[in-house]
Amino acid sequence: MDAAKYIWMNGKFVAWDDAKVHVLTHTIHYGNGVIEGTKAYKTDRGYAIFRLNDHTKRLKESAKMTLINIPYTVEELNLAQIELVRKNEFTGDNVYLRPFSFLGYGVMGLYHKDAPVETAVAAWEWGAYLGEEGMRKGIRLKIVSMTRPANTSNMGKAKATANYLNSQMAKYEAIDCGYDEALLLDDQGYVAEASGAAFFMIKDGEIITPPSDNALASITQKMVIEMAEDMGYTVTRRRITREEVYVADEAFLTGTAAEITPIAVVDAREIGIGSRGEITAIIQSSYFDIVFGRNKKYEHYLTYVDEL
């Protein structure tokens, strides 16, 4: 990865190489931590962080779900991210921000009430998560053997570190089988989400995406629904089965890092033309217009870091 100059850690900016923890950090052992993934894009007016407040709010809510008391307000964390982007003096088009909170050093054993809480934000330059070629031609998806854990045993709505064991096993299986990314079903056999992105399909002009019952409430998914409806498309949120995916006209993933990634193949079946579909291309370019500040209508979602 590309190192940057500073990381914000517990209220201070520290040099990238000095942002360290003890090996007995509680979260390393038991996995209770929360993360966000937020992006800043280089616009004509300098860097703009996309839907900053929504991401920071979700971090705080994930922490509440997992009983981590982050000692900073949403406003304080927003400011930390704005200043971090400024201070790092990035030059590229794409900056990824990773605000997170975890349980630190000092307490062992599962009961974590007295474990110290650490909060940090890192940011670095990071391009297309699923590859530039994937953005143009579409990626190959495998419905993997892992399912998204049921709500009775996990909290999929929390962007919790622990949930990414499931994601990692899924992703590894997909790549090991020669695919690019994993699609996970829920415990009932309906599409839940990809390892780090939400799923959309298009059939007969209708855009369909599952409810986030067992999945993260994706901010990009919400954005795409709003934007597609504004463009006049019918968007339906309902459960989707595996067979429906195989015969979709088009399909794509959405996520802060994945942005709008077209899907070319699922489990050896070509989706539609087996490349980026027509509506997917429209959604993709409209999304980039929004995040790069080229569409005034959605400007309220952008935080221009140099203008505050």
Contact set with ligand PMP (CB under 6 A): 37, 167, 193, 196-198, 215-216, 218-221, 254-256
Per-position DSSP letters for 72-111, written without gaps between them: S-HHHHHHHHHHHHHHHT--SSEEEEEEEEEE-SS--SS-
Candidates 99, 100, 97, 103; CA nearest to 31 is 103
- Residue 115 or 260 with smaller CB distance to ligand PMP: 260
- Residue 55 or 140 with smaller CB distance to ligand PMP: 55
Task: Determine which one of 5, 159, 222, 297 is catalytic.
Answer: 159
Catalytic site residue 159? yes
Closest approach of Cβ 137 to ligand PMP, in Å? Answer: 22
How far is the C-alpha of 291 from the C-alpha of 94, rounded, in Å?
10
Closest approach of Cβ 256 to ligand PMP, in Å? Answer: 3
- Residue 24 or 285 with smaller CB distance to ligand PMP: 285
Q: What is the dihedral of CA 180, 185, 186, 192, to 10 degrees?
A: 60
Closest approach of Cβ 150 to ligand PMP, in Å? Answer: 15
C-alpha dihedral sign at 8, 14, 17, 21: negative
- Residue 7 or 59 with smaller CB distance to ligand PMP: 59
Closest approach of Cβ 212 to ligand PMP, in Å? Answer: 8
How far is the C-alpha of 243 from the C-alpha of 6, rounded, in Å?
47
* Cβ neighbours for 94, distance < 8 A, ≥ 6 positions apart: 39, 40, 41, 42, 125, 126, 127, 128
Q: Which residues carry out catalysis?
A: 159
